[in-house]
Amino acid sequence: MRTTYRRTAVIAATTLLAASVVLPLASSPASAGTPTEIEYFVSDTNGDHSYELWKRATVSNPQDGDAWSSYAEALIEAGQPEHAIDAVAAGLRATMSPRLVLREALLVLEHGQRPQGMALMRRAAELGEVRAMSNLAVLLAAEGHVDEARTWAQRATTISPVYAKGFRVLGSLEAQTQHFDAAVEAYRRALALTPVDLALRLDLANVLIELHRYEEARPHLVACLLDPTLGRSALESFARLP
């Protein structure tokens, strides 16, 4: 049975369009730099947010789950989130697209229906959606299921070795379980894909400090010192250097 939504619940479009919502893992020195986040809507629309265009695409090919997902996103960006819910439901009646199941999971989580959202996220992950695997890892870790979370994060990066967010989640989980060498490798893979990400550099530095590789950590901390968001944390990490 498909999940039903309370029609009185209004989803704020600005919330749905946020890149992510913070779901921190259990605190540890090596992962204190940046909370691991669940990935929300990543643009499927290639810069064209005309919902009429994507609506026509779904009519032309109702089996195209990516088109349904893009249609829902375009509706959200147009300020019509409840119509996006209808679009996802209609799409899922036509096709069991992994990306569309992911989008439904995110909508359900936005409604605060966490158990149903997690079940849908797991379904999308089992269907092979890489972002769902990474998101499921974050959700599981937040509930204390770190070993299973780590397995899903590893699976995501194996399937998609160019998915930076997947490596970031994996690095955080490896650090949390004190697999610090593996965490360094994961963070470095993520940083190679997103070299301007200072938060990743801070996370990497903290893990290197755990391994007593202080000189490797130092340049990453220096790069973060003047950042208005990360500077204080970088300074605190500096205090851990000999």
Identify the pLDDT of residue 215. Answer: 97
User: Mean pLDDT of all residues in the chain?
Assistant: 81
Does residue 61 carry a pLDDT above 70? Answer: yes
Identify the three-state secondary structure at position 37. Answer: strand
Of 29, 31, 28, 26, nearest to 183 by C-alpha is 31
Residue 6 belongs to a domain = no
Higher pLDDT, 61 or 148: 148
Q: Point out the least confidently predicted range of 42-51, 98-107, 131-140.
A: 42-51
Identify the pLDDT of residue 34. Answer: 37
State mean pLDDT over 55-64: 80
Q: Which domain holds residue 206?
A: 13-238
Per residue in 82-115, pLDDT (tens digit) is: 788 888 888 888 888 898 899 889 888 988 889 9
Task: Output DSSP code: residue 110.
Answer: H
Residue 139 belongs to a domain = yes
Stated pTM of the model: 0.77
Does residue 230 carry a pLDDT above 60? Answer: yes
Rounded (5°) CA angle 200-202-205: 110
User: Considering its fold, how many domains does the chain have in total?
Assistant: 1
Identify the pLDDT of residue 86. Answer: 83
Identify the pLDDT of residue 199. Answer: 96
State mean pLDDT over 30-52: 53
Q: Point out the least confidently predicted range of 5-14, 57-66, 92-101, 140-149.
A: 5-14
Higher pLDDT, 100 or 35: 100
Residue 4 belongs to a domain = no
Report how far Cα 49 is from the mean position of its chain's Cα atoms. Answer: 22
Identify the pLDDT of residue 235. Answer: 96
Does residue 36 carry a pLDDT above 70? Answer: no
Residue 5 belongs to a domain = no
Q: Cα separation of 150 and 175, whole Å? A: 10
Q: Cα separation of 166 and 159, whole Å? A: 10
Q: Cα separation of 116 and 125, whole Å? A: 14
Query: CATH no. for residue 147?
Result: 1.25.40.10
Residue 1 belongs to a domain = no
Per residue in 193-227, pLDDT (tens digit) is: 999 999 999 999 999 999 999 999 999 999 999 99
